[in-house]
Each structure stands twice: as structure tokens, then as C-alpha cells.
Chain A
């Protein structure tokens, strides 16, 4: 009887211990942040017109306010510059750390990589993006020969394209491609460090690829671009060049 009571006491304290352990290790209660660092409202909307409208065509007075509508009637236009609802303390800025990606003299079946860093400062709401496109493949000045875009390691599983990055690890896999690491880069590169993909080619009417984008206000968002090239033993000797056009645009 006594041992039974002891067992029940032990069991009871065990349960309390587990209960307390779990309860006091729950993640902290976080009050809803009422003062977000993401946005600071500079001023509210300027609508002052009233009255119900049944038509789907509305006057500018309804969306911009009477004052603005009056100006529209007298001057014929209204201009609004910047992101109106945000006190944007971060201007839109785009930088490339090195625009001359020099691979030097290439040796067959010996991959070479070079890097450059893209940096974006974006202070508006909505998505900024940086796209990249090559102005034709790597080719000699006389256009007679070119180094093709990479297919990565090839085969059913490891063939990459402009949309899909795949492993490129074999010295017998030839071509030209890239990968990105850092802030706001495509998910395809975020988890696999050996993945590459080719640039879309404007001369083949391929659309630009998004290489950086984010919907958050951001300062000093950086990505490291790694260019990789590997030539085959039968590649004609020569100087090959191409231009990669990086276009950075803010959202609307």
C-alpha cells in the first residue's frame, strides 16, 4: 500500500515536471508589432470626395481628391513622383563591382570561374528585380565561332536550361553559365552550391532571367555572380567575348 502511494506520488511529480518543462519552454509570446521597421507611412490618402457612385466610371475627384481634380481640370495633368505612401529613405541604386569578367587564356577541359557582385538599394514597397540576358553567345570577333551555353552535367537528371539550374561538376561538361549566391537570389541556387544554368540569349528571342528580386524594402542587398566557362578540346582557338546586360528596375 505504502509503495503504491509512493509510486503514485512519483508519477504525479513526473507529470508535473513534464508539464512544466513543456509549458515554460514554449516560444515567447510576442505582441503584435505596432511599429514596423518596414514601412513608415508618410501621409495617408488624399481622398475627400463623398457620395455613392453606381457607375463603374469614377471621376478623378474620387480617387485623388477635389484639390487634385481641380488642378487636373485647369492644367490638364497631375503628377505624383516617388512612392507616395512611404517615406523612402533608401534611394533606388544598382551597382556592379566588376564589369570586365576576364577569363584569361582558356585550357581545354579546365573550368574557369570569375565573380562579380551585384548590389541593390531599394526603398519602395513591392518587388524590385534584376534581370540578366546575354547579347548572343560567347563568340569570336569575326562571328565565325562560338562557345555554346552550358547544359551542365547533362543526361536526364542533370541537364540545365535558362529556367532550371542543375549540377555542373564534370570537367567533360563544356559551355558557359552562371550561378548566384547571397541576398534575394533565385531559390534554385539557394540550396545547391554546384548548380549552374545558362544565360538566356537575346539573339534567340529568349526572355531575360530574373537573377535578384525581393518584395521587401532593402538596403545593400548583395549577390555574388559566378561565371563559369569550360571549353572542349575541339574548340577553335581565339578570343571570345559576349555582353551580359543586367537590368535593375523598381516596382510600381
Chain B
């Protein structure tokens, strides 16, 4: 009897022990995660002024923050697209500039493995052969993942991730650069415009945000950077200055410039705001009353000529005026009715 009890106790103990181990395993299994890709590259932009016959070595840092991945790098030319700094990468390599990886164990277009949280330094050698014509050449250093095969027997779409870093090269033998900038467009995108005697008058509601658009054009063969400001002068002598960011304007292209400080607008909740309908350089925020003059003065380096443009707008409390007129109309109507 005593032995039977002991055996029973042992059986129960083993049983509970097994249950315990089983539970530990079940409730501590890590989630199954889909394969994810996350890459960082630095620096994202490189500007190089170089003589023909010279070469430079640039160290890029590529970091993998996602799952282990097989990657490869290549360099392709690009052209600017649109006027907001977008690019269109060409399908094939072209141009006289030569690119190599100086890494001992890496070459362009060759695959390499990068573990999670690991980084790889890419030593990019950029060589400009002798006799390369003066001018600008634009490229993107691309790092792409090698896609795995999909799951057997099922229809799938495999995503390949590619991250780029832009390289802007100005080749100049003598150190001369071609600077030909102009103001292509400078205006406020006001809701109300009136054309009178051949002139356009911009009207703004006093409490509205004022979107300003400044587009510069580079008619030369080398990239240029604008330097200057947008100046707001009000009716009562109040003044505000906004510095134009010296963003690159590539050869023979236009760019919508940005000025700072600029007001922010939440376009997700204010889709009908003028500043949300079009890309803008600057948004003015405040209470405006009367005539305002916006002027801009820009040059492309010390010693280069200044270019100017200006636009005026008129601010009135249109909503307030409308409300007062409506109130007076209602009052007059009521008084008339009462008299009758």
C-alpha cells in the first residue's frame, strides 16, 4: 500500500514536471517574423569639384538594421526630375567618370553578406580620366538587396530594397565654373487674384497663411547654390527676413527653393489650404492688414551679380468685413420691418 502511494506520487510529479516544461516552451516561443529589410547609408550626398586626371577616395558607411541580407552596390547616372529635388535614375551606366571599390574583398556589382546591426565601409574610388570635358556629372551610389526565392508552390511578390546616395561631380580644369542663375517664378499663391489695367492684384484674407513660391533656374553647365533672402515689408514699416537655403540647383534645371523660418501647416487636416494645394518655398503666418511687398535678392556666390524680384499682395479681413456687412443688412431689414 505504502509503495503504491509512493509510485502514485512519483507519477504525478513526473506528469506535472512534463506539463511545466511543455508550458515553458509553448509560452516562450518567439514570434515568427516576416523577413524585413532596413538599410542606412552615409553620407547621403557628396559634392566633388575635381580636375581631370585626378581621383578621390570616399568612405561610405552602410548599416543593416534589419534581417541579415545579401547586398550589392552599383553606380548609375541620374538626371533631375521636377523642380523639388527629385531624381530619375538611368538604366545603364554612362559618362566618362570611373567608379571602383577599393575594399580588399569587395567590388561593385559583387554580392556581399551583412548581418543584423552590422555595418560595412564602402571605399568608393572616383576617378576622372585625363581629357574629361569640363562640366557636371551626376550619379547615385545604389545598394540593393538580393531577393530570395519565394515560398514553393505559392504565388508571391518579392520586394527588393534599394537605397541610394547622390554624387554631384563638377569637372573643371582651370577652376572656372559656369554660373547663370535667374528667377523663373516668384509669387504668392493667393486665393483671390484680380486683373486690372494689365496688372494682377493678389488679395489675402488677413488671418490666412500666405504661401510664397520662388523657383530659380540654372541656365549654366555647373551646379549653383543660391544665397540670399526673401524680405517682407508691411504697410506700417514692419519687416521680416527669411533666409533662402543654399540648396543645389543642377545644371540646366529649375528648383523650387526653400526659405526659413517658415510656418508649418498640417496638410492632413487642412487639405484645402492654399499652401497644401501646391508646393511652396515659404509660408507666412500672422495677421496681415494692408499692402505688403515681398522682395528677393539672390546671388550665387560672393562676387556674382545679384538678381532681384518682388511681388505685392493686399491683406484684408475679408471674413470680418463680410460679417459686418451681413449684420448691418440684417439690422436694417429688422428695423424697417419693425417700423412698418
Q: Is A173 an interface residue (CB 8 A)?
A: no
Number of interface residues of B (CB under 8 A): 106
Task: Please report the C-alpha to C-alpha distance between residue A213 and residue B85 in the assembled complex, in whole angstroms.
Answer: 10
B164 touches A99 (CB 8 A): no
Identity of the chain A residue whose Cβ is nearest the Cβ of B323 in the assembled complex: A22
Give, as a whole number of angstroms, the nearest-CB distance from A125 to chain B: 5
Task: Please report the C-alpha to C-alpha distance between residue A81 and residue B39 in the assembled complex, in whole angstroms.
Answer: 19
- Which residues of chain A from 105 to 152 have a CB within 8 Å of any chain B CB? 105-106, 114, 116, 119, 121, 124-127, 129, 134-135, 138, 147
Give, as a whole number of angstroms, the nearest-CB distance from A239 to chain B: 6
Q: Which of A30, A77, A91, A93 contacts B49 (CB 8 A)?
A: A77
A57 neighbours in B (Cβ, 8 Å): 176-179
Main secondary structure on B side of the interface with A: mixed
A138 touches B155 (CB 8 A): yes
A248 touches B303 (CB 8 A): no
A102 touches B156 (CB 8 A): yes
Give, as a whole number of angstroms, the nearest-CB distance from B258 to chain A: 6
A79 touches B56 (CB 8 A): yes
Task: Please report the C-alpha to C-alpha distance between residue A162 and residue B53 in the assembled complex, in whole angstroms.
Answer: 44
- Which residues of chain A from 64 to 83 have a CB within 8 Å of any chain B CB? 64, 69, 72-73, 75-83
Q: Is A45 an interface residue (CB 8 A)?
A: yes
B162 neighbours in A (Cβ, 8 Å): 245-248
Given A72-B175, A99-B159, A239-B155, verify A94-B86 contact (CB < 8 Å).
no
A33 touches B163 (CB 8 A): no
Selected A-B contacts with CB under 8 Å, 28 pairs: A7-B338, A11-B334, A14-B331, A26-B207, A32-B263, A41-B260, A47-B301, A51-B303, A58-B300, A63-B179, A63-B224, A72-B49, A79-B58, A82-B45, A95-B65, A98-B34, A99-B158, A103-B157, A125-B258, A126-B247, A129-B87, A227-B157, A239-B150, A243-B157, A243-B160, A247-B89, A247-B163, A252-B250
B36 touches A104 (CB 8 A): no
Q: Which of A11, A85, A243 contacts B245 (CB 8 A)?
A: A85
B159 touches A241 (CB 8 A): no
Q: Which A residues have a C-beta under 8 Å from some C-beta of B? A: 7-8, 11, 14-15, 18-19, 22-23, 26-27, 29-39, 41, 45, 47-53, 56-64, 69, 72-73, 75-86, 91-106, 114, 116, 119, 121, 124-127, 129, 134-135, 138, 147, 176, 207, 210, 213, 215, 227, 229, 239-252
Q: Is B284 an interface residue (CB 8 A)?
A: yes
Q: Which of A45, A83, A101 contacts B156 (CB 8 A)?
A: A101
Task: Please report the C-alpha to C-alpha distance between residue A29 and residue B206 in the assembled complex, in whole angstroms.
Answer: 10
Q: Which of A27, A92, A129, A242 contacts B42 (CB 8 A)?
A: A92
Main secondary structure on A side of the interface with B: mixed
A73 touches B175 (CB 8 A): yes
Q: Is B254 an interface residue (CB 8 A)?
A: no
Task: Please report the C-alpha to C-alpha distance between residue A19 and residue B300 in the assembled complex, in whole angstroms.
Answer: 51
Q: Which of A19, A91, A106, A134 contacts B324 (CB 8 A)?
A: A19
B42 touches A49 (CB 8 A): no
Give, as a whole number of angstroms, the nearest-CB distance from A3 to chain B: 9
Q: Which 10 A-B pairs have the closest CB atoms?
A: A126-B85, A251-B85, A98-B34, A36-B261, A63-B301, A249-B164, A95-B38, A47-B302, A76-B54, A77-B50
B165 neighbours in A (Cβ, 8 Å): 92, 250
